[in-house]
Amino acid sequence: MLPPEVTKAIDAGAGARRIHFIGIHTAGTPGGDIDVSATAIRAFHMAPKPKGNGWLDIGYNFVVRKSGLVELGRPLARFPAHIEGFNTESIGVCFSGNGDLADFSPAQYLFGLDLVRELCERFGVEHAHVIGHREAPSFGAPWTSKTCPGRLVDMAEFRARLVPYGPPLPPARAQAGT
């Protein structure tokens, strides 16, 4: 179950803009598989270059901590800054840690999947359009050398877990009720 402030943020953003994709990221902290907060990511994103990105706010809409705590990022009514060419039609979800060093924690999977399921339902996003940053070029984003959300994060498995009780049935079987 999502915290009330997260549900309120989703409610406030629903209908503000058309969403086609949810981008999945890890913070990719260079110091290791660190449980970085939305506050720390915001500070880096807003710090002037060359120490940061020089942005107006955190690039992600949500951050999922190692404990499963979901923290608010940039409000949903505002465009995120997380996948070049996709920001106007997407929501950015960052998982603390470094996906090249470790997969999401069990708590991150549990609460992160709850968050992404809710976002898919509320914004009408197909599970196939829940993509890792590295997958975005397959959907028309500019090429990236990023491995984000990381080599150890299996996005096909993540999408399969979006269905609460296993992968979805193929359309013909689902319609037949078998």
Q: Which domains does the chain have, with CATH numbers?
A: 4-13+22-162 (3.40.80.10)
Contact 73, 95 (CB under 8 A): no
10 Å Cβ neighbour count for 28? 20
How much is the pLDDT for 174?
42
174/93 Cα distance (integer angstroms): 30
- Quick: pLDDT tens for 92-121: 999 999 999 999 999 999 999 999 999 999
Instruction: Tell the residue number behind the tokens 């449980």, with chain if given.
Output: 35
pLDDT at 46 over 70: yes
- Quick: pLDDT tens for 149-171: 999 999 999 999 998 755 544 45
How much is the pLDDT for 32?
85
Tokens encoding 177: 């009720």
Per-position DSSP letters for the chain, written without gaps between them: ---HHHHHHHHHHTTTS---EEEEEE---TTSS----HHHHHHHHHSPTTTS---SS-S-SEEE-TTS-EEE-S-TTS---SSTTTGGGEEEEEESS-TTT-PPPHHHHHHHHHHHHHHHHHHT--GGGEEEGGGGGGGTPPP----TT-TT--HHHHHHHTSTTSSPPPHHHHHHT-
How much is the pLDDT for 95?
98
